[in-house]
């Protein structure tokens, strides 16, 4: 298929706005499915576990291909919950366009904002659908106003809804001046009634004005037609201009309908094809040999470049979803992963629809396909032609902030659990696992309580055995304040030979913030949280602590200009220091944000020993950490929170948050809801799902996102049951 006819789009929404229902309706409308899929009833209560159910649906329909009006639309379902941030980001990354679904009754809700921000960040061009217009007494135009007010979106009212006591009765297509009415069942296209025509002309010229403020070409068109007999902008010119401003992210066209009854969904599909970008309109960023580059327009004959953005279990196999940016992929192809520096071989290639696939002999640029055979790659990885290595740009995985210990109920369960765990870790780069703290146990690290809860559930499902799972625990780090020095000297006689090593060093805090903002070459700004990655199982028996610290907080080691230690000794010293930094002096948590400068040492030609220098370095570091000038503190993750709660429970929720030591940063009414946001430590939010449910009688939803790190006071340490030494 010509890349210009491909639309890779995602549907995003606040929970219960109708994302699943709209997607199901699209399948029916495009003839892929005969009947609407069943959406569970009784979901009107704001149940925090709703995202779990949501995710279930999400996984089945990870990606679906539907034909419409000469276009091929790949619908990519993004997970609904922020605990799956990485998956959302990975999916967003391969989208060209999106549909933002709103509940006509509720307008913009907390998560609508979150997904909108994400789409903006990723430069995803978007259309809005005001859904549930079939419900009585809805105010679809009020929902449009909330898009302007809350999202600061530049909306384009391209349709005009007519509502009565029973919901939507008619819809005007303002561009084409078409009118459609419903009285139950299928809508019919009817001539625009006389009574509406004045209003429609006013709205249409308002629309034309709004577009011409954003698009010079259309402005010129309008100026030209003003002198013509009709005096009206031409529909084709209008479509083209809406396409340009939407693709440029300047405006948000708004459409209306109902996923449940099907009203307006065919026009939505027309809008997707007409206004949202194709892969040819949105060129990806990558790098080759360290230099950033913008990929050329999709070309089937170019060297292959794909991004792996999602895995899906398919029986015993794992299906990897690839978005192809350039070139053509075929079964049997050998692909190169520049990150792992390993080859992968494609076994089968399929266009995916829900659980079934349609085998393909080849797929070209812009397409999204499912392949089997991928073994060592992770989501966010580039797979490319081995002869033309290229790295596509992707955001790094978020830091794990929480962990749970997991063990088999009985020894016989161990192999099944190990195998399934490996698969889950492989599929989700924000999930970490390592063995320990005790033999036979694993420690699982993730980005949120719900993340780990759901993954523990999936693990049981996948392995067929129920593991014992410990309580969620926050991942801690240790860091230092102040500068201090230390010295270590080792002199030993082994088999009559003297082994000598001596190191003196200085430690100080790394001059960097706890979170770091980096700009990718695409202009996208990403905030790197202090990342923590899990260590290899420690040999020192201390692996009950969290593990190594990832890039931006990793301990840094340098050799001072006056350091006289011979070169051959230096790599051993470095490795020893990094190993020692795996467990801090206070509670055994990994050291983070610390700079170690080896300033000198002794050397005795003929007696210098690598092992002795390594040992001396460890002694020196311990000496420095124990110095009076140094203060060691424990860091714990802080989170940004947002709670959306029914008015009558807002003060109780607020009081509870304050009791948890939260810093409230804002408060906003939203219809009958109240939105509260701010910062809180992850520790004090453990178990919040249950807590907030009981306080609000189920009338609250919330989200938590990693934000940074905070040093604990001695009192905090005690209340958290963290022991010294």
| Sign of the four-CA dihedral 62, 63, 64, 67 | positive
Half-sphere exposure of 479 (CA within 13 A, CB side): 27
Chain position whose Cβ is nearest to Mg ion: 20
Contacted by 17, from Mg ion, ligand GDP, none: CB < 5 to 8 Å by type: ligand GDP
Q: Minimum CB separation from Mg ion for residue 18, in Å? A: 8
How many whole angstroms separate alpha carbon 252 and alpha carbon 139? Answer: 19
Stretch of residues binding ligand GDP (CB under 6 A), selected from 235-243, 255-263, 327-335, 561-569: 255-263
Q: Could you say which of 132, 204, 282, 434 contacts ligand GDP (CB under 6 A)? A: 132
The answer to whether residue 129 forms part of the interface with ligand GDP (CB under 6 A) is no
567 binds, among ligand GDP, Mg ion, none (CB under 5 to 8 A by kind): none
Quick one: what does residue 131 bind among ligand GDP, Mg ion, none, with the CB cut-off 5 to 8 Å set by partner type?
ligand GDP
- 595 sits in which H/E element: strand 594-602
Cβ count within 10 A of residue 471: 8
Least separation in angstroms between residue 41's CB and Mg ion is 13
Q: Which does 260 bind (CB under 5 to 8 A by kind): Mg ion, ligand GDP, none?
A: ligand GDP
At closest approach, how far in Å is the CB of 25 from ligand GDP? Answer: 8
Helix (H, G, I), strand (E, B) or coil at 76: strand
At residue 431, φ and ψ (nearest 5 deg) are -110, 130
Long-range pairs, 411-420, Cβ under 8 A, ≥24: 411/440, 413/463, 413/465, 413/467, 414/440, 416/463, 416/464, 416/465, 417/442, 417/459, 417/463, 417/465, 417/467, 419/463, 420/459, 420/462, 420/463
Query: Is residue 264 a contact residue for ligand GDP (CB under 6 A)?
Result: no
Helices (H) and strands (E) in the chain, counts: 16, 38
Number of residues that bind ligand GDP (CB under 6 A): 19
**Residue 628 corresponds to which tokens in the numbers above?**
């009076």
CA distances from 667 to 20, 375, 642, 654, 676 (A): 30, 47, 10, 10, 5
Closest CB to Mg ion among 57 and 308?
Answer: 57
Decide: is 20 part of the binding site for Mg ion (CB under 5 A): yes
Q: Does 258 bind ligand GDP (CB under 6 A)?
A: yes
List C-alpha distances in Å: 235 to 176, 214, 256, 666. Answer: 6, 17, 19, 44
Angle, CA of 500, 501 and 503, to the nearest 5°: 160
Strands (E), 46-91: 63-68, 71-77
Q: Rank residues 103 and 333 by Cβ distance to Mg ion and give the closer one.
A: 103
- Residue number of the CB closest to ligand GDP reads 18
Rg (CA), the chain: 29
Here the tokens at position 303 are: 């060297």
Among 78, 131, 533, 703, binds ligand GDP (CB under 6 A): 131
Our finding on whether 47 is near Mg ion (CB under 5 A) is no
CA distances from 120 to 158, 250, 570, 684 (A): 21, 10, 47, 31
Question: Measured from the CB of residue 260, what is the shortest distance to Mg ion in angstroms?
Answer: 13
Site for ligand GDP in 14-53 (CB under 6 A): 15-21, 39, 41, 43
Q: Are 468 and 409 in contact (CB under 8 A)?
A: yes
Using the rule CB under 5 A, give the single segment among 20-28, 177-185, 247-255, 511-519 that binds Mg ion. 20-28
Q: Does 75 bind ligand GDP (CB under 6 A)?
A: no
Residue 150: closest CA among 654, 706, 669: 669
Angle of helix 85-94 relative to helix 110-121, nearest 10 degrees?
50
State the Cα–Cα distance between residues 631 and 574, nearest whole angstrom.
Answer: 23
54 binds Mg ion (CB under 5 A): yes
**Applying CB under 6 A, which of residues 28, 36, 59, 135 lies at the interface with ligand GDP?**
135
For residue 499, state whether it binds ligand GDP (rule: CB under 6 A): no
Shortest distance (Å) from residue 20 CB to Mg ion? 3
- Segment interacting with Mg ion (CB under 5 A) among 56-64, 163-171, 376-384, 532-540: 56-64
> Considering beta carbons, is residue 19 or 81 the nearer one to Mg ion?
19
Provide the CB-side half-sphere exposure for 719 (13 A, CA).
8
Q: Between residues 53 and 693, which has the closer beta carbon with respect to ligand GDP? A: 53
Q: Among Mg ion, ligand GDP, none, what does residue 381 contact (CB within 5–8 Å per kind)?
A: none
Contact between 24 and Mg ion by CB under 5 A: the answer reads no
Site for Mg ion in 672-701 (CB under 5 A): none
CB-nearer residue toward ligand GDP: 37 or 386: 37
To the nearest whole angstrom, how small is the minimum distance from the Cβ of residue 109 to Mg ion? Answer: 14
| Residue 61 touching Mg ion (CB under 5 A) | no
Pairwise CA distance, residues 523 & 285, whole Å: 10
74 counts as binding ligand GDP under rule CB under 6 A? no
Helix (H, G, I), strand (E, B) or coil at 335: strand
Q: Judged by CB under 6 A, which of 107, 161, 170, 259 binds ligand GDP?
A: 259
**Smaller CB separation from ligand GDP, 162 or 382:** 162
Cα separation of 659 and 657, whole Å?
5
**Interacting residues with ligand GDP (CB under 6 A):** 13, 15-21, 39, 41, 43, 54, 131-132, 134-135, 258-260
**Interacting residues with Mg ion (CB under 5 A):** 19-20, 54, 57
């Amino acid at each position: 298929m010509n890349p210009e006819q491909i639309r890779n789009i995602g549907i995003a929404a606040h929970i219960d706005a109708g994302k699943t229902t709209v997607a199901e309706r699209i399948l029916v409308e495009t003839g892929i499915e005969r009947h609407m899929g069943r959406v569970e009833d009784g979901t009107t209560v704001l149940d925090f576990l709703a995202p779990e159910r949501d995710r279930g649906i999400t996984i089945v329909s990870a990606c679906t291909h539907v034909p419409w009006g000469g276009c091929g639309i790949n619908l990519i379902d993004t997970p609904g919950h922020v605990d799956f941030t990485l998956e959302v980001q990975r999916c967003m990354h391969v989208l060209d366009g999106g549909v933002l679904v709103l509940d006509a009754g509720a307008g913009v809700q907390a998560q609508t904002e979150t997904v909108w921000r994400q789409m903006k960040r990723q430069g995803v061009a978007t259309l809005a659908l005001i859904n549930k217009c079939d419900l009585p007494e809805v105010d679809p135009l009020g929902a449009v106003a909330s898009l302007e007010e809350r999202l600061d979106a530049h909306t384009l009212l391209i349709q005009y809804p007519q509502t009565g006591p029973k919901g939507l009765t008619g819809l005007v297509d303002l561009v084409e001046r078409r009118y459609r009415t419903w009285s139950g069942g299928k809508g019919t296209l009817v001539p625009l009634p006389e009574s509406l025509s004045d209003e429609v002309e006013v709205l249409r010229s308002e629309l034309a004005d709004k577009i011409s403020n954003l698009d010079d070409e259309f402005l010129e068109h309008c100026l030209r037609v003003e002198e013509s007999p009709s005096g009206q902008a031409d529909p084709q010119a209008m479509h083209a201009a809406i396409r340009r401003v939407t693709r440029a992210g300047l405006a948000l066209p708004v459409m209306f309908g109902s996923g449940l009854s099907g009203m307006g969904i065919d026009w939505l599909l027309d809008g997707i094809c007409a206004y949202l970008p194709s892969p040819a309109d949105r060129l990806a960023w990558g790098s080759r040999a360290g230099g950033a580059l913008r990929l050329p327009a999709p070309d089937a004959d170019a060297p292959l470049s794909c991004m792996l953005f999602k895995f899906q279990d398919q029986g015993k196999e794992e299906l990897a979803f690839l978005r192809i940016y350039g070139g053509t992929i075929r079964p049997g192809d050998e692909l190169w992963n520049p990150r792992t520096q390993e080859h992968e071989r494609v076994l089968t290639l399929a266009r995916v629809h829900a659980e079934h696939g349609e085998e393909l002999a080849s797929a070209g640029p812009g397409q999204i396909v499912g392949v089997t055979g991928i073994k060592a790659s992770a989501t966010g990885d580039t797979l490319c032609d081995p002869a033309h290595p290229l790295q596509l740009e992707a955001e790094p995985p978020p830091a794990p902030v929480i962990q749970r210990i997991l063990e088999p109920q009985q020894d016989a369960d161990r192999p099944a659990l190990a195998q399934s765990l490996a698969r889950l870790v492989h599929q989700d780069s924000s999930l970490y696992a390592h063995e320990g703290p005790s033999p036979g146990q694993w420690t699982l690290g993730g980005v949120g309580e719900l993340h780990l809860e759901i993954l523990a559930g999936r693990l049981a499902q996948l392995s067929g055995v129920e593991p014992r799972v410990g309580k969620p625990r926050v991942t801690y780090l240790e860091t230092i304040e102040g500068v201090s020095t230390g010295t270590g000297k080792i002199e030993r006689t082994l088999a009559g030979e003297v082994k000598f090593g001596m190191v003196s060093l200085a430690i100080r805090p790394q001059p960097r913030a706890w979170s770091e903002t980096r700009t990718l070459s695409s202009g996208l700004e990403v905030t790197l949280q202090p990342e923590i990655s899990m260590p290899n199982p420690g040999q020192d028996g201390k692996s009950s602590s969290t593990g190594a610290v990832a890039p931006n907080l990793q301990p840094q080691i340098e050799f001072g200009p006056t350091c006289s230690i011979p070169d051959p000794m230096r790599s051993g010293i470095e490795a020893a220091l990094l190993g020692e930094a795996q467990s801090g002096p206070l509670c055994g948590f990994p050291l983070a944000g610390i700079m170690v400068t080896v300033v000198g040492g002794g050397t005795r030609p003929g007696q210098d020993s690598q092992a002795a220098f390594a040992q001396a370095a460890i002694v020196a570091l311990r000496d420095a950490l124990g110095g009076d000038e140094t203060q060691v503190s424990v860091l714990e993750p802080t989170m940004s929170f947002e709670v959306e709660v029914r008015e009558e429970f807002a003060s109780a929720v607020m009081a509870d948050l304050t009791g948890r030591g939260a810093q409230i940063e804002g408060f906003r009414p939203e219809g009958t809801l109240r939105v509260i946001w701010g910062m809180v430590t992850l520790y004090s939010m453990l178990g919040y799902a249950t807590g907030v449910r009981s306080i609000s009688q189920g009338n609250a939803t919330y989200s938590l996102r990693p934000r940074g790190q905070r040093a604990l006071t001695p009192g905090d340490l005690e209340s958290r049951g963290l022991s010294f030494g």
